């Protein structure tokens, strides 16, 4: 899901005594996105900072990324500005006709499974036409 864990070390994030027994775990987790990959530094658990059962988690976020780390910040695959949209529309129309997907067939959908099937088919058609019609980045 694009989440990265920053936890490091062996100090538990949860640590307490109850009924004469010690309980500890690593229940608290620090997640971050790919945008912070390589920017979270000095992650640590600080035991003496709070009076809670949960220890404090401290870390720094550096203001600039490390050199040499390439972080892709886009999901774009195609150069849509250079697309031949007339060809794209024509090919989509041909595929819709070949697979018998129309407003009438969509109106006849009655189950979630039928809808999922049509959405899957339509998505595959769009991918196919994109591969044929659009230049890649």
Query: Would the pTM count as exceeding 0.85?
Result: no
Task: Examine the domain organization and report whether 49 and 88 are in the same domain.
Answer: no
Provide the number of structural domains found in the chain.
2
Decide which of 31, 61, 91 is a domain's last residue: 61
Q: Per-residue pLDDT tens for 81-125?
A: 888 888 889 999 999 999 888 889 889 999 999 999 999 999 999
Task: Examine the domain organization and report whether 55 and 100 are in the same domain.
Answer: no
Average pLDDT on 28-39 reads: 85
Task: Examine the domain organization and report whether 47 and 92 are in the same domain.
Answer: no
Residue 20 tokens read as 């004469």
DSSP assignment of 58-84 equals: EEEE-SSPPTT---------B-GGG--
- Is the pLDDT at 8 greater than 70? The verdict is yes
In a domain, 34, yes or no: yes
Q: Per-residue pLDDT tens for 37-85?
A: 888 888 999 888 877 888 898 988 887 656 666 666 667 788 888 888 8
Task: Examine the domain organization and report whether 91 and 49 are in the same domain.
Answer: no
Nearest Cα to Cα of residue 15 among 29, 6, 30, 26: 26
Provide the domain limits for residue 90: 80-133
In a domain, 126, yes or no: yes
């Amino acid at each position: 899901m694009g989440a990265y864990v920053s936890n490091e070390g062996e100090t538990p994030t949860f640590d307490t005594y109850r009924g004469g027994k010690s309980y500890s775990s690593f229940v608290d987790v620090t997640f971050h996105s790919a945008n912070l990959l390589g920017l979270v530094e000095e992650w640590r658990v600080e035991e003496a900072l709070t009076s809670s059962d949960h220890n404090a988690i401290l870390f720094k976020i550096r203001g600039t990324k490390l050199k040499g780390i390439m972080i892709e910040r886009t999901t774009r695959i195609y150069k849509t500005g250079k697309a031949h949209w007339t060809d794209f529309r024509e090919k989509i129309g041909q595929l819709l006709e070949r697979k018998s997907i129309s407003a009438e067939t969509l109106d006849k959908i009655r189950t979630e499974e039928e809808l999922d099937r049509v959405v899957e088919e339509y998505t595959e058609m769009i991918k196919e036409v994109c591969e044929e019609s659009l230049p890649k980045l």
